[in-house]
Amino acid sequence: MRNRLEGHRVSPALGPGLAQRAVLARFLPSASQFSLVAQYLCEGSSDRWSDFNRLDRMNDPLECISMKNRLLIAVVGGTLAVPSLSMAIFYDNFDTENGGVSSLNYGSFANWDVSGGTVDLIANGAYGLSGSGMFVDMDGSTSNAGVLTTKTAFALSGGTTYVLRFSISGNQRGGADDSMTVSLGSLYSEVFTRSAAAPWEVVERNIFVAAGTNANLAFDHAGGDHLGMLLDEVEIAVVPEPTSLAAICGGVIALLRRRKQ
- Same domain membership, residue 133 and residue 154: yes
Q: Does residue 227 share a domain with residue 170?
A: yes
Q: Which residue has the higher pLDDT, 68 or 177?
A: 177
Residues 95 and 222 both lie in one domain: yes
142 and 31 housed in the same domain: no
Strongest mean pLDDT among 32-41, 59-68, 230-239: 230-239
Q: What is the pLDDT of residue 88?
A: 96
CATH assignment at residue 188: 2.60.120.200
Of 54, 74, 51, 50, whose CA–CA distance to 62 is shortest? 74
Same-domain check for residues 10 and 118: no
Q: How many domains does the chain have?
A: 2
Helical pair 245-260 and 67-81, crossing angle rounded to 10 deg? 140
Residues 229 and 249 placed together within one structural domain of the fold? no
Q: Residue 23 — very low, low, confident or very high, per pLDDT cuts 50/70/90?
A: very low
The per-residue pLDDT for range 124-174, each reduced to its tens digit, is 999 999 999 999 999 999 999 999 999 999 999 999 999 999 999 999 999
Same domain, 117 and 64: no
**Strand 134-137 to 160-169 pairing:** unpaired
Average pLDDT over residues 207-214: 98
Element holding 56 (H helix, E strand): none
* pLDDT per position as a tens digit, 215-259: 999 999 999 999 999 999 999 999 987 653 345 556 656 665 665
**Using an 8 Å Cβ cutoff, are 255 and 224 in contact?**
no
Same domain, residue pair 77 and 92: no
User: Do 113 and 208 belong together in one domain?
Assistant: yes
Which range of residues forms the domain containing residue 68?
4-82+243-260
